[in-house]
């Protein structure tokens, strides 16, 4: 069982110094964007934080607070189809998108609306899980915009269990082709009690932080999201095929830190190692004792993760590094 969390103690965007906007994208979809100022007199830079699948801004507020205390301003969002951004399928509890490129279109608009390139540098890109994959695409598409990137358990590949990767790809393509694109991928479903059990969960070994995720959902059930649609899954696999090529990754020349979770059951650590080997300037660190949500882990794991991040970002401040 997870430990109880008092909803009255849950952090909020405004309570952590942030502000929220809901701009409308060119195709009419409303996106939720949040900005958080640095809490130091001299800014250390600006972090663009790209969340993972099912995530919402409140889930990252503890990590955002760590960054703003270190002097970084933070800009982040709820991707379309999740959080409090507009949902894209009649079933609001299904993670759905037709093409990962739509996420990148929203990112382009977000960069324009926030005038990200004019915010205090250095400009740091942080991406978790699906956001780590999209961060690779953003670095490829925007050479010169970002100075460094931290990828936390990035979606370099998806664990498909007993299904070989080629079988999963063929099944997803066939399902979409037959008109089942807005059906749940087998083994998943809407957000329900099966996602709330702490024992054996793939996200974190910290019961309090695990409980906080679900307390935030209870406080605002509109952010709840279950499993992905076939169309989301097929789109993700197509995007992975595009990115995971030497000719693509060789164009990403900035320093990249990849943080892998030792106990990972959602994304592929083997694929992360392959991506790290193809990037021109990349360090991969396996975080002992960690599950998928590295920054929502037990304090001793989080301290080690933050030590890696702090050391990596400090190298950018050292002209001899």
Decide if 140 contacts 245 (C-beta within 8 A).
no
Distance of CA 167 to the CA centre of its chain: 26
Q: Which two tokens stand for residue 237?
A: 């696999």
What angle (nearest 5°) sits at the alpha carbon of residue 37, between those of residues 33 and 42? 150
Cα(12)–Cα(26) distance, rounded to whole angstroms? Answer: 29
Q: Are strands 45-50 and 123-128 parallel, antiparallel or unpaired?
A: parallel
HSE at residue 234, side-chain half, CA atoms within 13 A, is 21
DSSP characters over 52-94: -TT--GGGGHHHHHHHHHTTEEEEEEEPTTSTTSPP-SSSTTS
Decide if 281 contacts 253 (C-beta within 8 A).
yes
Looking at residue 163, its pLDDT comes to: 80
CATH superfamily of 7-315: Alpha/Beta hydrolase fold, catalytic domain (3.40.50.1820)
Decide if 121 contacts 45 (C-beta within 8 A).
yes
- 234: phi then psi, degrees, rounded to nearest 5: -65, -40
Looking at residue 3, its pLDDT comes to: 53
Measured distance between the N- and C-terminal CA atoms of the chain, rounded to whole angstroms: 46
Cβ neighbours around 14 below 10 Å, total: 10
Looking at residue 166, its pLDDT comes to: 86
DSSP characters over 250-261: TT--S-EEEEEE
Q: Which two tokens stand for residue 161?
A: 């269990």
Q: Which positions of the chain have pLDDT values less than 70?
A: 1-8, 318-321
Average pLDDT, the chain: 94
Looking at residue 1, its pLDDT comes to: 39
Q: 161-182: string of b/e by CB count within 10 Å (b at 16+)? A: eeeeeeebbebbeebbeeeebb
Enumerate the domain spans of the chain. 7-315
Distance of CA 168 to the CA centre of its chain: 23
Q: Are strands 19-21 and 32-36 parallel, antiparallel or unpaired?
A: antiparallel
- How distant, in Å, are the alpha carbons of 75, 179, 247 from that of 55? 15, 27, 31
Looking at residue 8, its pLDDT comes to: 60
Cα(95)–Cα(115) distance, rounded to whole angstroms? Answer: 29
In eight-state DSSP terms, residue 7 is: G
Token pair 């979809």 in the structure block, residue: 29
Looking at residue 5, its pLDDT comes to: 57
What angle (nearest 5°) sits at the alpha carbon of residue 77, between those of residues 100 and 5? 115
Decide if 244 contacts 269 (C-beta within 8 A).
no
Token pair 């949040």 in the structure block, residue: 34
Decide if 76 contacts 20 (C-beta within 8 A).
no
Token pair 């990828």 in the structure block, residue: 151
Of the candidates 302, 303, 247, the residue with the CA atom closest to the CA atom of residue 279: 247
């Amino acid at each position: 069982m997870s430990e109880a969390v008092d909803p009255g103690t849950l952090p909020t965007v405004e309570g952590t110094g942030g502000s929220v906007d809901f701009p409308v994208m060119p195709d009419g979809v409303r996106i939720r964007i949040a900005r958080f100022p640095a809490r130091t007199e001299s800014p250390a830079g600006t972090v663009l934080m790209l969340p993972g699948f099912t995530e919402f801004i409140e889930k990252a507020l503890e990590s955002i607070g760590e960054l703003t205390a270190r002097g970084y301003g933070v800009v982040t969002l709820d991707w379309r189809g999740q959080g409090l951004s507009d949902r894209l399928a009649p079933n609001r509890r299904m993670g759905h998108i037709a093409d990962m490129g739509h996420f990148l279109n929203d990112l382009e608009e977000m960069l324009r609306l926030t005038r990200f390139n004019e915010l205090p540098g250095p400009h740091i890109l942080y991406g978790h899980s699906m956001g780590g994959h999209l961060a690779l695409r953003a670095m490829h598409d925007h050479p010169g915009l970002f100075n460094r990137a931290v990828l936390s358990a990035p979606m370099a590949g998806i664990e498909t269990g007993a299904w070989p990767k080629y079988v999963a790809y063929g099944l997803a393509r066939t399902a979409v082709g037959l008109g089942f694109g807005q059906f749940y991928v087998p083994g998943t479903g809407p957000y329900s009690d099966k996602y709330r059990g702490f024992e054996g969960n793939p996200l974190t070994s910290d019961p309090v932080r695990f409980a906080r995720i679900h307390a935030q959902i209870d406080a605002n059930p509109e952010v709840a999201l279950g499993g992905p649609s076939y169309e989301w899954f097929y789109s993700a696999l197509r995007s992975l095929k595009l990115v995971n090529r030497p000719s693509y990754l060789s164009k990403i020349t900035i320093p990249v830190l990849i943080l892998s979770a030792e106990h990972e059951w959602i994304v592929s650590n083997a694929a992360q190692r392959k991506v790290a080997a193809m990037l021109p300037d990349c360090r991969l660190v396996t975080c002992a004792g960690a599950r998928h949500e590295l920054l929502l882990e037990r304090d001793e794991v989080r301290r080690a993760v933050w030590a890696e991040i702090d050391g990596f970002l400090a190298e950018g401040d050292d002209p001899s590094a």
